Amino acid sequence: MSKPLTADQLITSIKRKASIPTSQDTFTDEDLLEFANEELQLGVVPGIMSVHEDHLLYEEDVALEANRSDYEIPHRALGNKLRDVQFKVDENNLSELTRIGIGERFDVSDTNIRKFYVKGNKVILTPPIGNQSNGSLVFVYYIRPSSLVKLENVGIILGIVDNGDGTSNIVVNEVPSTFTTSITYDLYKADSPSSILNKDLVPTNVNSITKIITFNTTDIPKELKVGDHISLAGEAAIAQIPTELHPLLAEMVACRVLEALGDTEALQNALLKVKQMEAASGMLIDSRIDDAPQKVVNRHGLIRTGLFSKRSN
């Protein structure tokens, strides 16, 4: 069974594919990871998005505040755009919000939260929120994969302990020197596709001697388990894409290296290999549930909202 490649293993694969000697000084490991991050964002991720199968989909709740109607689109949303915005009345009930143009914001006849428009990087609710606010906005978006770093820069989780006082300890193999209480962290799966479980978390304590990082218990997702990783926010030691695409990423970086080295013949062979791998990868990540094709529903079509809907009620 294919296993996810850590950044260190990815570097080894790139060097092998491009026949880079281990003693060379042209490309450092950091250079190769920078190439990998560029190819990930500009090559692999657009390919994943093109199959429209909701890879990288993420939800984030933002509590409504009194007298505040504008809310920032999450900064880690891919392309700074949203797939959907919904209103969460309570834990069990969601309602639809309708996007309108900025020229339609003057209609405030409806006092319920039903509409929004986009201005710059903000979602603005209309009519404006008053003194009382209940519920939250649910931002549904494709999250930007984290930048690759070496395994030494993340902590591998060895244990999770609920302290019973509202905090929980995460025991790791090592606490990297960059870990402090003044920065934010991500928790993500080690298994494919290394999805982010919770992000931008602030710890209450970081102890490099006991190798314990403490968070509020409410920040620890129930899916987190031993073997998963904790990293600085926006970083990861495993590319957060399906495992089957890791060799493709390595091959794409090898092409960058061969191009920089001016090895034309090897580059042509590598580019041909990339095309073959892209075709194979597309078949692997498309149609995620073969026997259950997605039902297309027009939420605002005539049958649901017009004459036919009225006759059936």
232-267 pLDDT, tens digit per residue, is 999 999 999 999 999 999 999 999 999 998 999 999
How far is the C-alpha of 173 from the C-alpha of 49, rounded, in Å? 35
Q: Please say which residue of 225, 243, 261 terminates a domain.
A: 243
Cis peptide bond upstream of 127, omega within 30? yes
Q: Each residue of 157-200: pLDDT tens digit?
A: 999 999 999 999 999 999 999 999 999 999 999 999 999 999 99
- For the chain, the average pLDDT equals 90
pLDDT of residue 298: 60
The domain boundary residue, chosen from 114, 142, 170:
142
Based on the domain organization, do 234 and 217 belong to the same domain? Answer: yes
CA 190 to chain centre: 14
Say yes or no: 219 and 150 in one domain: yes
Residue 309 has pLDDT above 60, yes or no: no
| CA distances, 106 to each of 21, 101, 210 (Å) | 65, 10, 58
Range of the domain at 108: 57-142
CA separation for the pair 111, 128 (Å, rounded): 9
Largest CA distance in the chain: 77
More confident of the two residues 305 and 269: 269
> For the chain, how many structural domains are there in total?
2
Is residue 86 domain-resident? yes
Angle in degrees, 0-180, between the axes of helices 7-18 and 29-39, rounded to the nearest 10 = 90
157 with 239, same domain? yes
Return the top range by mean pLDDT from 89-93, 111-115, 137-141.
137-141
Read off the pLDDT of each residue in 22-34 and give the average, rounded to a whole number.
Answer: 87
pLDDT surpassing 90 at residue 110: no
* Greatest mean pLDDT range, 19-33, 70-84, 272-286: 70-84
**pLDDT value for 108:** 65
Strands (E), the chain: 57-63, 70-72, 84-90, 93-96, 98-99, 115-119, 122-126, 136-142, 147-148, 155-162, 167-172, 185-188, 196-201, 205-207, 212-216, 229-232, 235-236
Over residues 289-303, the pLDDT tens digits come to 877 666 655 655 544
pTM: 0.87
* First vs last C-alpha separation in the chain: 53
Q: Is the peptide bond before 193 cis (omega within 30 degrees of 0)?
A: yes
One domain for residues 29 and 166: yes
pLDDT over 70 at 311, yes or no: no
At residue 78, the 3 state secondary structure works out as helix
Identify whether 167 is part of a domain: yes
How far apart CA 153 and CA 172 sit, in angstroms, is 12
Task: Among 204, 222, 243, give the residue marking a domain's end.
Answer: 243
| pLDDT at residue 284, as a whole number | 85
Helix, strand or coil for residue 42?
A: helix
**Cα separation, 23 vs 33, whole angstroms:** 18
CA-CA distances (angstroms) from residue 154 to 29, 166, 219, 231, 236?
A: 16, 25, 18, 5, 7
> Which residue, 144, 97, 150, is CA-closest to 124?
97
Tell whether the model's pLDDT for residue 14 goes beyond 80. yes
